[in-house]
Amino acid sequence: MTSDTDPIADLARDLRLNAAAFIVTIYGDVVVPRGGVLWTGTLIDLCARVGINESLVRTAVSRLVAARQLQGERIGRRSYYRLDASARAAFDQAAGLLYGQDVPARGWQVIHAPELSPEEGRRQRLGHMGGAVFIRPDRGQAAPSGALTLHAVDSDDPAGLAQFWDLSALQAGYQEIIERFAPLERSISARTLSDADALMARLLLVHAYRHVLLRDPRLPQAALPSGWSGHDARDLFRRLYLRLTPAAERHIAARCEGEDGALPAQTVASRDRLLEPTI
């Protein structure tokens, strides 16, 4: 990355952003821990910096409202959108995976789910063992509706269980994150990003990492292939997120507005995301 390039424009172009998905990232990273409400003008400004125009923003917001992820309201001549209550659980789960401590698996769940298709099982990060039988690391998750679950403490061949997931796609996704964001981490030492660019870089980092992480079954170490890039991607995400946050928070406080005016630079919820993992 040379000094005369625009790292934000380069990253946004490489990631080929979908407007609705990027708006979800903005709400999850910036808005939800600061009350959950954002002025439409702020949303349009943030999206414009990564090449998403106002028309695309308004279309995407309408679709998110129809999907019951956002809920709109007007105050005077301004429109605001808040996180819909029905979407809170999904946002909280994603935030826990992104910013929280990992929960070690306590063995395996072998699930008999006659009503679950292989495609839906994959969306739920289950490994498909054949027929109506699925498997996943046991972190105390509730069984899918109508399913019978057997809890297995251990496996004689944990590495062999990895065959039930397509880890090659996840490995490629994590490697792409490293290849795209490691140069940004190095470049920060040689240049100073503006507060606005620090926020956009953090949003793009979260957006790219979330896309891979939410598809990852997070297998125990013994079940992972050698050279697994997920750990290095996680470490890079944490380092760069912490490095970008002070400047990003200055921009949030200066330019991002909710229904009560400027959003705060920090809240208890946003500070919790900066805690270093202890495991």
Give me the tens of pLDDT residue by residue for the chain, a chain 279 residues long. Answer: 444 678 899 999 999 999 999 999 999 999 999 999 999 999 999 999 999 999 999 999 999 999 999 999 999 999 999 999 999 999 999 999 999 988 899 999 999 999 999 999 999 999 999 999 999 999 999 988 899 999 987 888 999 999 999 999 999 999 999 999 999 999 887 678 999 999 999 999 999 999 999 999 999 999 999 999 999 999 999 999 999 999 999 999 999 999 999 999 999 999 999 986 544
Total domains in the fold of the chain = 2
Residues 26 and 78 in one domain: yes
CA dist 64 and 140 (Å) reads: 31
Report which residue type is found at 43. Answer: L
Tell me the C-alpha distance between 274 and 98, whole Å. Answer: 11
Please indicate, yes or no, whether residues 67 and 118 belong to a single structural domain of this protein.
Answer: no
Q: Report yes or no: 7 and 187 within 8 Å, Cβ to Cβ.
A: yes
Q: Residue 279: its pLDDT value, please? A: 40
- Is residue 174 within 8 Å of residue 229, measured between CB atoms? yes
Same domain membership, residue 132 and residue 88? no
d(CA 244, CA 190): 14
Question: ∠ CA 124-127-129 to the nearest 5 degrees?
Answer: 135
Do 86 and 130 lie in a common domain?
Answer: no
* Domain identity same for 126 and 81: no
So what's the pLDDT on residue 5? 77
pTM surpassing 0.75?
A: yes
Q: Provide the pLDDT for residue 278.
A: 45
User: Which of 88, 118, 152 corresponds to the end of one domain?
Assistant: 152
DSSP 8-state secondary structure symbol assigned to residue 29: I
In terms of domains, do 13 and 130 share one?
Answer: no
Which residue type occupies 183?
Answer: P
* 46 and 137, same domain (yes or no): no
Contacts of 228 (CB under 8 A, 6+ apart): 171, 174
Please tell me whether residues 244 and 264 are part of one structural domain. yes
State whether 42 and 171 are in the same domain.
yes
String of DSSP letters for 26-88 = HIIIIIGGGTSEEEHHHHHHHHHTTT--HHHHHHHHHHHHHTTSEEEEEETTEEEEEE-GGGH
Question: What domain range is 94 assigned to?
Answer: 7-100+167-272
pLDDT at 272: 95
Count of residues in the chain:
279
Residue 136: its H or E element = strand 133-137
Instruction: Please tell me whether residues 90 and 217 are part of one structural domain.
Output: yes
Does any domain span residue 159?
A: no
Residues 6 or more apart whose Cβ sits within 8 Å of residue 12 = 49, 50, 51, 200, 204
In this prediction, residue 153 carries a pLDDT of 79
Q: Are 143 and 178 found together in one domain?
A: no
* 137 close to 217: Cβ distance less than 8 angstroms: yes
Find how far residue 84's CA is from the centre of its chain: 18
User: What's the token pair of residue 46?
Assistant: 């943030």
Which of 120, 152, 184 is the last residue before a domain boundary?
Answer: 152
Judgement on whether residues 123 and 241 belong to the same structural domain of the protein? no
Q: What is the CATH number of the domain that holds 232?
A: 1.10.10.10
| Residue 23 · residue 61 · CB < 8 Å | yes
